[in-house]
Structure 1
Amino acid sequence: MALLVALPPSLAAGAAPPACTEPAELLEAGAPLPATLRALRAGTLRILVIGGVSVLGAGTSGPEAPWPARLQALLRERWPKAAIEVAVRGERGINTTEASALLATELARTPTQLVLWATGTFSAVRGAEVNDMVETLNERLEALKAADTDAVLIDPQFSRFLRANANIDPYLEALRLVAAAHQVPLLQRWELMRHWVETEQVDVERAPKPQRVAATDRLNACLAAAMAALLRDGLAEAREGAAN
């Protein structure tokens, strides 16, 4: 059964772990977010996050710790006069086709200006055909564009286990190509997390068990900050495009 998560309005005071640092180029949107900009200017923005357990906050300390909840808090702080809602739609083991169907159902129910779509992990784990994933993404992204809804793709989380047990590279490359073809931003979660691991900023896989929840919270805080930065860049591109 799919899970619809209602996110809290803000994080508890002092609850956010320290931010991570990363190469600036990993936070470049590379594409504008015009529908999101219009919604913010109008004062109401709804964001839909769709994916698997990573968007549902598995392993975190509570409902305010997953990155979508933290993202909502960051965006509300940045745009205090706008009514900003971040909703999460997902389930464990969801594939791209199932996520696309959930997206269609949710968007038919509630107007949404921005979709953040985490995908590719389950396809890689199952060894699914890359072309099937690409075909589904192409179809849904075209539908989102026709509905005047912005989208951001999110590639899989970095994992030594996944790297050792699945051929992840074709899926990462396919997501990069799809994002470029449709001119939508891509949050390079794989590269971001690999950088944080290699620079010893956060490494959930190797965190001692007593520290794993804290490490997962930190990871989610860093992902929220990265997504907020990517969205700011996409909004800046949209402003520039509107001015020309």
Structure 2
Amino acid sequence: MTLSWTVRSACCAAIGAMLLAGAPGGARASDASAGNEVAAARPETPPAAPRGVTGKAIDAVRSVARSAGDVFSRVPCATPKDVKLEATLPHVARKIASGEHVTIIAFGSSSTASYGASSPAFQYPNRLAEQLRRRYPKADITVMNQGIGGEDTPEMMARLKSSVIEQKPDLVIWQLGTNTVVKGGDIDATRGLLEDGIHQLQAIGADIVLVDPQYVPATTAKEADATKMVGIIGRAARAMKVGLFPRFAVMKEWHNDQKLPFDDFVIKDGLHMNDWGYACFAQLLGDSIIRSVDQVQAGAEVPSNVLTFRPM
């Protein structure tokens, strides 16, 4: 079986770390030993043989895989009780159902780049890709991470053509708004920029899911601004009939209703999610996409491209 991109990335990262460790000032790979990979041909018990770079890299990959597999063992990733996630993404759904190549682009800032994740295995676009590939093993699915930390909506718009449109995506997951709130930017200007970007993406036939700000200490400290931004993104999604993943409401439910402390899903900077947060976000988003694909495969008539969230 071929290693997935995520595992290969983890392996390469581990190998790179091992090689860097041999640089001046770092610990050399030969300084530590583990395991009894090779037995010496002597009657007495030999000392443990040093692990080579490849052996250590394999151990690192296995460790990441185990960690990625049990991230929900402490707290399960439950579908929010106060919102129901329903996706109708007809373009990407029909392409997956028909076995065509599918390109999904995760577009945004640092939470799309998944700052705070402990390894590539926990970056949300990689988690989403693995979930979709497990569900549709015969599908040809690519998830591209086009997140750049610190960007506001104007900076994203400046690279929309090169980072997104020229890649000819079938689905764009556009995360925005948090940096404008946290940095005190022009919230009102977001609406016009966002609508312009949506028009450009609709012109190439891409399905779109907008992702609003995260509910974390850095945004709750400016709750009025955060609520205003959430409203602007939600109204744009409804007016232009595109998808919306209400991350603010979902994460608020984690904290207020599921009683999860912020430390359970946010790193110490009070802004970015941790491994669990990215994993649960990816899981819920993936579940929505899967429901839409299953509708198409079942022969159901899929309405216009709308991702809705309504009370149970």
Q: Is TM-score (shorter-chain normalized) higher than 0.5? A: yes
Percent identical pairs in the alignment equals 26
Report the structure, 1 or 2, having the larger helix content.
1
Superposition map of 1:61-210 within 5 A: 61-165=118-222, 167-198=225-256, 199-201=258-260, 203-204=262-263
* 1:45 and 1:113 in contact (8 A); partners too: yes
Question: For the structure 1 residues 133 and 82, does the alpha-carbon distance in structure 2 shift closer, same or farther, using more than 3 Å as the test?
Answer: same
Show the counterpart of 1:4: none
Partners of 1:15 and 1:230 lie apart in 2 by 21
Letter in 1 for 2:263: V
TM superposition shift of 1:118: 0.4
Partners of 1:38 and 1:106 lie apart in 2 by 24
Task: Choose from 68, 90, 111 the match for 1:15.
Answer: 68
* 1:44 and 1:84 in contact (8 A); partners too: yes
Letter in 2 for 1:203: F
TM superposition shift of 1:34: 1.6
TM superposition shift of 1:139: 0.9
1:241 and 2:297 equivalent?
A: no
Partners of 2:165 and 2:252 lie apart in 1 by 36
- Structure 1's unaligned 5+ residue stretches are 1-6
Most deviating of 108-117 and 132-141: 108-117
**Higher RCO (CA 8 Å, separation ≥ 6 residues):** 1
TM superposition shift of 1:37: 1.6
Partners of 1:54 and 1:207 lie apart in 2 by 11
* 1:20 and 1:196 in contact (8 A); partners too: no
Q: Could you state the TM-score of these two structures normalised by the residue count of structure 2?
A: 0.67
Superposition map of 1:36-47 within 5 A: 36-40=92-96, 41-47=98-104
Question: For the structure 1 residues 126 and 62, does the alpha-carbon distance in structure 2 shift closer, same or farther, using more than 3 Å as the test?
Answer: same
Structure 1, residues 37-85: CA drift from partner, whole Å, max 9, x if none? 2321243111100111111121221011111111110000011101111
* 1:202 and 1:218 in contact (8 A); partners too: no
Partners of 1:60 and 1:206 lie apart in 2 by 11
Show the counterpart of 1:227: 285
Partners of 1:216 and 1:165 lie apart in 2 by 21
- Structure 2's unaligned 5+ residue stretches are 9-63, 304-312
Structure 1, residues 148-176: CA drift from partner, whole Å, max 9, x if none? 11110001111123212352111000111
Residue 28 of structure 1 aligns to a residue in which SS? strand
Q: Which runs of 4+ in 1 moved over 4 A?
A: 205-209, 236-239
TM superposition shift of 1:127: 3.0
Residue 172 of structure 1 aligns to a residue in which SS? helix
Partners of 1:223 and 1:242 lie apart in 2 by 24
Partners of 1:38 and 1:103 lie apart in 2 by 25
Superposition map of 1:45-64 within 5 A: 45-64=102-121
